[in-house]
Amino acid sequence: MLFDHDKVSFAYLLFLGEALLISLSGILAPGPLAALSVGKGSRFPQAGALVAVGHGMVELPLMLLILFGLGTLFKAPSLRGLISLLGGSFLLFSGFGMLRGLRVQDQGSHYQGSLIAAGAILSLSNPYFLLWWGTVGTALIMRSMGFGLLGFFVFAVAHWFCDLAWLSLLSFLSSRGARFLGEGFRRAVFALSGTFLLFFGVKFILDALTQLGGIVK
């Protein structure tokens, strides 16, 4: 058992602290999920939590796949190129949609289902997310297994809770800003978030063309 011995417990806590600090370096970096949480959060404060649910629906099964030895698939240039191309296209679609939403004054609970789906799609179509789990994440999973299955599951849940807390905080702060600063702030947040999504979309597509072009050569 994981916590039968004080030394094992202390060693696991040290590992968990290190693993979460490493995880936070990726979680706190600006990305599509953060942009979506901020943009939608200006009107819907629970947006980040729903995005995190969708993200977790991809991330937790992915961790299990890595545990069973499928992590090397995410290093294949052809797969990364295809994912980049599909992900970039979805980000462009999302970014243009958010910019068109600047003209919509009342947006509410109908976001809920689409935000969970968007969190899942943006995660699955992000080649950097998959590459991180195929490299750094795989190493952390293997280390967590040194403490048994319980060690792995505690790490997995703790990692996801970091995602949940950060994305929820972003959407909450965006909502508070919109409440106190008014419609102008919401429109500015939508414009900035939509622009970020377009930027990531173009970047993903350019990366895809580079990777797929290298394979053809």
Q: 212: buried, middle or exposed (CB in 10 Å: 19+, 13-18, 0-12)?
A: middle
Q: Is residue 174 part of a domain?
A: yes
In a domain, 117, yes or no: yes
Whether 166 is in a domain gets the answer yes
Specify the pLDDT at position 6.
57
Specify the pLDDT at position 106.
45
Lowest mean pLDDT among 17-26, 32-41, 184-193: 184-193
How many domains would you assign to the chain?
1
- Over 80: is that where the pLDDT of 171 sits? yes
Write the CB contacts of 78 (distance below 8 Å, at least 6 apart in sequence). Answer: 211, 212, 215
Tell me which of 180 and 104 has the higher pLDDT: 180
Higher pLDDT, 107 or 34: 34
| Average pLDDT value for residue range 186-206 | 78
Domain that holds residue 156: 50-216
Q: What is the pLDDT of residue 110?
A: 45
Q: What are phi and psi of 110, to 5 degrees?
A: -70, -5
Q: What is the mean pLDDT of residues 188-206?
A: 79
Judge whether 19 lies within some domain. no
Instruction: Note whether residue 44 is domain-resident.
Output: no
Structural domain contains residue 26: no
The one-character DSSP state at 167 is: H
pLDDT in tens, 89-130: 877 877 777 777 666 544 444 445 589 999 998 898 888 888
Whether the pLDDT of residue 132 is over 60: the answer is: yes
Q: Residue 132 corresponds to which tokens in the numbers above?
A: 């991180």
Dihedral sign for Cα 141, 165, 46, 39, please. Answer: negative
Q: Does residue 22 lie within any of the structural domains?
A: no
The answer as to whether 18 is a domain residue is no
Instruction: Determine the average pLDDT of the residues in 49-69.
Output: 92
Mean pLDDT of 39-49: 87
- Is residue 111 a contact partner of residue 188, using CB atoms and an 8 Å limit? no
Q: What is the pLDDT of residue 100?
A: 73
